[in-house]
Amino acid sequence: MSVTTLANGVEIGRRALQAQQTALQVTSHNIANANTPGFSRRNVELENVAGGLGGVGGGVDAAAVTRQRDQFLDAQMRVERQVLGRWSALERALTGVEAIFNEPAGAGSSEAGTIFNETSGLGLSGSLSRFWNAWQDLANVPESGAARAAVRQEADFMVTTLHQLDAQLADLRGSLDQEVIAQVDEINQILDSLAALNGEIPRSVFDGGTGGDLLDQRDRLLEDLSERVDISILEKDNGQVSVLLAGHNLVQANQSVHLASRTINQDDLATSTIFFSDDGSLVPIREGELRGLMEVRDVTIPDFQNRLDTIAATMVEEVNRIHRTGTGLTGTSGVAFFENSKMAASNISLDDRIIADLNNISASGDGNAGDNGVALQIAGMRNDDSLGALGGDTIEGFFFTLLGEVGSRSKEAQTMAENHRLFSSQIENRRQSVQGVSLNDEAAQLVLFQRAYQAAARTVSIIDDLMEVTINL
């Protein structure tokens, strides 16, 4: 056997050792990251080396280390995360709205008791019911000072309840606005990280080490960003990504464009608008957590506040219209029950003359102290569905409709969020079948590569012995 032949055998053995060593390293890396979120399993591609003497071949090389990833599933997951982000934000925000309107019993009326199955009389529905009842009690004893005190007390409680509901909704809007600002800051941090990775990835070696790990990190950031806002992705051959929002470049190469917030006054509340920092144009956001937060902040809560304002304005206009026609115990007439200029849920209040003197509360319609015409009319407003601003509903019915919509919107958000969590889980399970690490499979591969390495080492040792014998001949 010639020295050349033996040398060729040594070279084959050396390549085999290197290839199996690479395979062992990659397998160990897979096992070490079996529980690492977002990790993609690496696969060693072995290929035979052409050439060698007498057609024997040149052995084996580790041609490449590939990252096991399904781009279609990744894209599908990003889209799903956008939708899930919006519904999750809606679920969280609407749960807060529902808690504000969560009345244990409603009014104590038969209708409210049916809806809420309780009779505690708490909340606005309860205060409305007691307000009408107080006027009915006054109609029964129109000369009573105690009955007038009860009317004023229940009216004050109803006014306070409207104030509290509006204030709590305003506070929730403010909290959501702060969350929007925080989301913008976090989005900008992600954009900066993606731009930095864009600078590192092309310089890295795609050998299952740094390059693959950087790509995994990039993909985790893209999914995190997708949950917050509806981005689109363009990936280049060198591993860099361009991130776009409504066609506007947020990440290009190693440069990022930030989102910025600007405070404006909306409905007497300071809220933040989102715009692109490079040209100042407004950001159109259709999906993601940011969309959900802004939807509740800018649409849902103002709508509910407007409906409370409608209740307050209707109460002021209609009660005052009747009350002015009546006469108090001391003969006063033309007195408004509620302050005319304060017709919103945030500022509705009793007229100063009602606060100052109970005798200014009118029960009589004809000036006779024993008459109860005005008190009966106001008490009868409870069942009046002809009040124009309420769309053919009573005041209590209008509020019950509002309560029902609060509950239905919250329930819808919960249901949709759960559905999309399920969809995301299904996609993730499919992805894990591609990129996930099976410890059993990796253990089997580890044994296989170990034995191949040991065999290659034994081969080199035997050929080395033969070369020594040949040289000494």
Mean pLDDT (whole number) for 83-108: 83
Q: Rounded CA gap, 355 and 360, in Å?
A: 9
- The H or E element containing residue 45 is strand 42-48
Residue 467 has pLDDT above 80, yes or no: no
> Which one is predicted more confidently, 51 or 326?
326
Residue 138 has pLDDT above 80, yes or no: yes
Site of tokens 């115990």: 329
> Which one is predicted more confidently, 199 or 52?
199
Q: Rounded CA gap, 302 and 320, in Å?
A: 26
pLDDT of residue 115: 36
pLDDT of residue 62: 84
The per-residue pLDDT for range 58-71, each reduced to its tens digit, is: 788 888 888 898 99
| Contact partners, residue 380, CB within 8 Å, separation at least 6 | none
pLDDT of residue 202: 86
For the chain, what are the domain ranges? 3-68+438-472, 75-181+286-423
Residue 112 has pLDDT above 50, yes or no: no
SS3 labels along 332-355: CECCCCECCCCCCCCCCCECHHHH
Mean pLDDT of the chain: 87
Burial of 383 (0-12, 13-18, 19+ CB in 10 A): exposed
Residue 151 has pLDDT above 90, yes or no: yes
Percent of the chain with pLDDT over 90: 66
What does each C-alpha distance from 399 to 67, 126, 308, 311, 408 come to in angstroms? Answer: 58, 11, 8, 8, 14
Give the E-state strand segments of 207-354 in sequence order: 231-235, 241-245, 248-252, 255-256, 259-266, 269-276
Residue 368, number of CB atoms within 10 A of its CB: 13
32 confidence band (pLDDT: 50, 70, 90): very high
Q: Rounded CA gap, 281 and 286, in Å?
A: 16
> Which one is predicted more confidently, 289 or 10?
289
Residue 261 has pLDDT above 50, yes or no: yes
pLDDT of residue 120: 46
What does each C-alpha distance from 266 to 44, 173, 341, 344 come to in angstroms? Answer: 59, 11, 21, 16
Residue 1, number of CB atoms within 10 A of its CB: 11
